[in-house]
Structure 1
Amino acid sequence: MNISRLPLVAKAAALLTVAYILYQIYIQLTIGAKRRAFQREKGTLPVPWLYTLKDRFMGVDVFMENMKALKARNILALGKSRFDLQKVRTYRMVMLGRDVFITIEPENLKTIQAVDFKKWSLGSRRKTAFRPLLGIGIFTSDGADWQHSREMLRPNFARSQVGDLATFERHVSHLVEAIPTDGSTVDLSEMFFRLTMDSATEFLFGESTESLTKGSSEGFSDAFMRSQDFVANNSRWGSWAKLFPANKQWLADQKFVHDFVDYYVQKNMAKRSELLREKSNAEKSGRYIFIDEIVRQTEDPIRIRSELLNILLAGRDTTASLLTNVWDTLAKRPDIWSCLQSEVAKLDGKAPTFEQLKEMKYLKGLLNESLRLYPVVPVNSREALEDTTLPLGGGPDGSAPVFVPKGQVVSWSTYAMHRRRDYYGEDADDFKVERWLDDAETGRKGLRPGWEYLPFNGGARICLVSDSSPVKAIQTDIFKGQQFALTEASYTTVRLCQAFSKIESRNPSPWTESLTLTCVNLHGANVALKL
């Protein structure tokens, strides 16, 4: 071909084509050769493609199918059905031009989150989507930034009085007072989100929003929830989200959320000199205030705000979502309500201690089962920082290791994994508290799951209060980094059971997913409670 005879545009196109071909040849001879040798050494096999995928270039067909399912509130169920119908545990697909592996293999998740933790990141698209709202914090960063957050926050969690239930008692008493006792319908979900906002802001800022008594939190809750919805949607579009300008509502909500937290940041920064002279605010007042401890460690107001928002998201939304799912179930399952009331009755109406909560086996099984079927973080992903492998998923039967090139995204569905019949039995879709309990008569042991049960993820990212290795910590206590949320959910459930003897469901609809950054029942927990 004589390029000199072609028009200018055609010349440019031809030169670009030639350059691309030469680049691909170079890649195949250099990086490609190394990768092929690496794959031979590790014995990896290709991951099977998603059987419904037709567009392997952009994956527009699967993306549109996902968006339709998201709108219909059944995207989690769709994800599970793909594994069931294809009869694999790992498959490959393309989403808007991005190659993605989807897996529900526990060994793969153990590798990603613990064994080879340093080889994986949150991924550029997730950080780009989350940071405009949450900033650089413990749940939105990798590498040095994440390590800095971890070292800054871990001692504070170790000192925090998650076992001191006095704060919970005050806010739960407000919750009980706000619930009608005349048999009228109340949406406990709305109240749970107010409860967890009140307790989280007191723990974080030293001042509660008192939304249960005031009836609002000055608009913060609504702005925070709408912001999460916007961020979650942007993360699904990835780099294509740049094509959609930020709307006025999002910008207003973002500013409201930041201004709300900045008020407390500036207030506490003003007394930093006084805080530095004290060892701990807990020693002075007997009360632990999270922001004071952070202010002692950094003068960066943006970093302080970011860490507070990161912890607020984890402490408020996960707990409220868990409580909503639990109480929707309790209202629809008189058998579970009766068993739970029998266990709570052993307290003789007294508020439980932290030690007593830990000994309540049925309550723990109830929370575990709710988190199994309705995990509050039902999907997640990581991006490879270097060429690496996963132990399972390759080949027709998924038993071979998988080559994962640098930049490859691996996503997983906790929702689908928690419903695997080979782990949880043929009744895996059924809500059975008993699967977690020991049976003294038959000698049957309750579930003691490992990496196949990850309601809060695993590895280093949940072990803020542990100095153990990520693997040992997760095997010892998967809830270690989530003690605050689980303690609050347990305490709230017990006190409500003590306050009310009867419950009636006012919501005939089945559990329906409402997915933002966390997941909760779309229909809330509409019930009637009686003394």
Structure 2
Amino acid sequence: MVFNNNTAIALPWPTSPRAIALTVIATITSIWLMQRWLEGNRQKEIERRFALEHGCQPLRPWTAKWPLGLDFLVKALEFNKRKQILKFFLDVVEESGATHQQHLLGGRAVNTIDPENVKAVLSTNFNDYTLGLRTPHFRPLLGSGIFTQDGAAWEHSRQLLQPQFRYNRTQNFEQIKKSVQQLIDGIPKDGSPVNLQPLCFKLTFDTTMFLLFGESAVSASDWGEVAGKESEFAQAFNTAQDYLALRGRLGPFYWLLNDSTFRNACRTCHRFVDQAVSKALKLSANKSSNSGKHDRDVDGGKAGYVFVDALVQQTKDPQVIRDQCLNVLLAGRDTTGCALQWTFRLLSRHQHVLSKLRAEVEQITGLGPLGEDAPLPTRDDLKKMVYLDMVIKEVLRLYPSVPVNAREAQRLTVLPTGGGPDGKSPVLVRPGEGVGYCVYAMHRRKDIYGPDAHEFRPERWEEESMKPENIGWAYRPFNGGPRLCLGKDFAELLVSYTVARLVQVFPRIEAPNGEPHVAVGDEKQNLTLVVSSADGCMVSLGY
């Protein structure tokens, strides 16, 4: 009722249940929207004060032209079809700057190849970030393991794996020597071209299975059916990783890519590892009944530490064990396998580097009449091979095994550089925003590595500017900070021994005759979670 001049005027008021319900809903919705608006304003004010306090400046705008950055996705798909997606990332950095923002599919993120920013994300401000969408979009294949976990779960997984590398160095090296000899035995000795890529992956598969399951994992007589299905697993593992890479590029819409091919590949991988886990559980039960020796080895950190044995002490759940093993298998097989195939691909196509390396190997270990008779390199021998170390560093600079990575901010934080007109001011990063860093592009920065940054030149590591104290976080082939690769030393040992041994055995390591020259970085590449050559690693090795 409204009273005017002592006259009552009746206004309509809802009386039916439906009208009352609609009024209540409209009122609640209005209140909720008002609260969201007020909360948004409060958050913006918090962000404004935080940015002011830390001296943050706006980022350089992204160069995308279409709404939601759809032109970025179209170009990415075009380059991916040509097997040169990393070349596209280099172009984006060239156009948009070393640190820039992107607005893709409605979300804001920051991309950077600045070493100081990478250091902040991986180390200085480590606790400000999580893995973000990696966990849900990798879950169909990897489940919950060290590669997909954050926080306490990740710390626990890391503690389980550390002893394998800390205490088993002698056993690990003996297994490396056995597996490398098997690789050598599988190479034609008549100089006919051979694709080393699958052989390198077989090598790293065997050594990683040894880390996970011990001696039984690399003994065909003990492993039986599991060993026979390795190639089926490898094909499924590669297919599943192709899907994971594509899902990652869809951001929050990763769930759209979940067809039967992907699901079947994941199931094949799970079945393979499930069989390995089943056998490991039976072996573990037998060990545990053997006067308690098994428990002393695992808990006391003795040389007999086996990763799956330690897991069994924590849980008997086969899926939990499978997830952890798949995570380690991904890291051990794929990253090191890629490093090896790129090393031989580059050496065979840069004969002056190979000649210099062969001279060093001959000086330190000697070369037999047919290579086979030379003394096997020891770990001390490998430490003396300075040029071999530079070769491997240069390979990992040009082809870091994990070339693209990202984190998601879980609280307001800053990147130390990239903002303002000069690109040197701090940058605000909001909760839920991603920070992507492309190690592949950072390793090719000409202002850091010189005008020949895109070329394979191991000698650059002799220069003063390339010393660890000077290069700092500009070189990150094994990540950094708390998530520094646990298997770094093992991977370097495996790669260096394999290269030294093949240089010993084969006086001739060449690119196949008639192969057209392709500049470093212009070759076709497969980018999944790692980067490998799409054309394999065709090499002629012989006496």
Normalised by the size of structure 1, how large is the TM-score?
Answer: 0.87
Residue 80 of structure 2 is aligned to residue 70 of structure 1: yes
Aligned partners of 1:179 and 1:186 also within 8 Å: yes
Work out which of the residue numbers 475, 480, 483 in structure 2 matches 1:461.
483
1:110 to 99, 115, 119: 119
Who is 1:91 aligned against? Answer: 100
Comparing 511-520 with 365-374, greater Cα deviation is found at 511-520
The residue identity in structure 1 corresponding to 2:182 is H
Deviation at 1:262, TM superposition (A): 1.5
Would you say 1:241 and 2:254 are equivalent positions? yes
In structure 1, the residue matched to 2:448 is: 423
Are the counterparts in 2 of residues 53 and 59 from structure 1 also a CA contact under 8 Å? yes
Query: What pairs up with 1:330-341 in 2 under 5 angstroms?
Result: 330-341=347-358
Q: What corresponds to 1:219 in structure 2? A: 232
Give, as a single letter, the amino acid of the residue that structure 2 aligns with 1:498: Q
Task: Note the alpha carbon deviations across 1:321-350, whole angstroms, 9 max, x for none.
Answer: 011111111111110110110011020221
Measured in 1, the distance between the counterparts of 2:47 and 2:117 equals 20
1:499 corresponds to? 505
Deviations 1:441-478 (A, max 9, x none): xxx575432100011211111264xxxxxxxxxxxxxx
In structure 1, C-alpha distance between the alignment counterparts of 2:70 and 2:392, rounded to whole Å: 38
How far the C-alpha of 1:425 sits from its partner, in A, is: 0.9
Q: Return the alpha-carbon distance in structure 1 between the equivalents of residues 300 and 478 of structure 2.
A: 32
* 1:263-278 equivalence runs, <5 A: 263-276=275-288, 277-278=292-293
In the TM superposition, what is the alpha-carbon distance from 1:241 to its structure 2 partner? Answer: 3.0
Q: Distance in 1 between matches of 2:529 and 2:146?
A: 15
| Residue 14 of structure 1, CA deviation | 9.5
Give per-residue Cα distances to partners, 1:130-184, cap 9 Å, x unaligned: 1211111111111122122122222333223267422111111111111112121
Q: Secondary structure at the match of 2:428?
A: strand
Deviations 1:16-73, CA, capped at 9 Å, x for gaps: 9967863553134321111111111111111111123442xx2222122212222222
Question: Which TM-score applies when normalising by structure 2?
Answer: 0.85
Residue from 342, 361, 364 that aligns with 1:325 = 342
Aligned residue among 45, 58, 68 for 2:57: 45
CA distance, structure 2, for counterparts of residue 298 and residue 20 of structure 1 = 46
CA contact (8 A) 1:79 1:416 kept: yes
SS of 1:184's partner is strand
1:192 is aligned, of 200, 214, 217, to 200
- Residue 41 of structure 1 aligns with an amino acid whose one-letter code is E
Q: Does 1:452 align with 2:498?
A: no
Distance, in Å, in 2 between the alignment partners of 1:188 and 1:215 is 20
Superposed displacement of residue 229, structure 1: 1.1
Give the Cα–Cα distance (whole angstroms) in 2 for the partners of residues 215 and 528 of structure 1.
Answer: 28
Q: Which moved more, 1:15-24 or 1:191-200?
A: 15-24
Q: How do 1:40-439 and structure 2 match up within 5 A? A: 40-55=52-67, 58-86=68-96, 88-123=97-132, 125-161=133-169, 164-206=172-214, 207-208=216-217, 217-244=230-257, 246-276=258-288, 277-278=292-293, 279-280=296-297, 288-346=305-363, 347-348=365-366, 349-437=374-462
Amino acid at match of 2:71: D
Taking only aligned residues, the RMSD between alpha carbons, in angstroms, comes to 3.0
In the alignment of these two chains, the number of paired residues is: 500
CA distance in 2, matches of 1:323, 1:103: 28
What do residues 224-268 of structure 1 show as CA deviations (whole Å, max 9, x unaligned)?
A: 111111122112213323334x33332222122112111222223
- Unpaired runs of 5+ residues, structure 2, are 1-11, 367-373
Secondary structure of the residue aligned to 2:205 is helix
What CA distance in whole angstroms lies between the structure 1 residues aligned with 2:24 and 2:491? 59
Change (3 A) 1:19 1:67: farther
CA–CA distance in structure 1, aligned partners of residues 301 and 40 of structure 2: 65
- Cα distance in 1 for partners of 2:517, 2:174 equals 36
Match of 1:471 in 2: none
CA distance in 2, matches of 1:456, 1:16: 52
Q: Which moved more, 1:89-98 or 1:183-192?
A: 89-98
Is 1:152–1:297's contact at 8 Å kept on the other side of the alignment?
A: no
Matches of 1:315 and 1:525 in 2, distance apart? 19
CA distance in 2, matches of 1:163, 1:43: 53
Q: Which moved more, 1:27-36 or 1:365-374?
A: 27-36
Residue 474 of structure 2: SS of its match in structure 1?
coil
How many angstroms does 1:407 deviate by? 0.5
* Shift of residue 493, structure 1, vs aligned partner: 0.7
Contact 1:331–1:337 under 8 Å retained in 2: yes
Match of 2:8 in 1: none
1:69 partner amino acid: F
CA contact (8 A) 2:163 2:305 kept: no
> Using a 3 Å threshold, how does the CA distance of structure 1 residues 215 and 145 change in structure 2: closer, same or farther?
closer
SS in 2 for 1:269: helix
- d(CA) in 1 for partners of 2:39 and 2:504? 67
What amino acid is aligned across from residue 202 of structure 1 in structure 2? F
Higher Cα Rg: structure 1 or 2?
2
Q: CA contact under 8 A between 1:136 and 1:307: conserved in structure 2?
A: yes
Q: In the superposition, relative to structure 1, how do residues 269 and 216 fare at CA in structure 2: closer, same or farther (>3 Å)? A: closer
Distance 2:125 2:174 in 1: 40
Is the alpha carbon distance of 1:202 and 1:498 closer, same or farther for their aligned partners in structure 2, counting shifts above 3 Å?
A: same
In structure 2, relative to structure 1, the CA distance for the partners of 1:163 and 1:98 (3 Å cut) is: farther
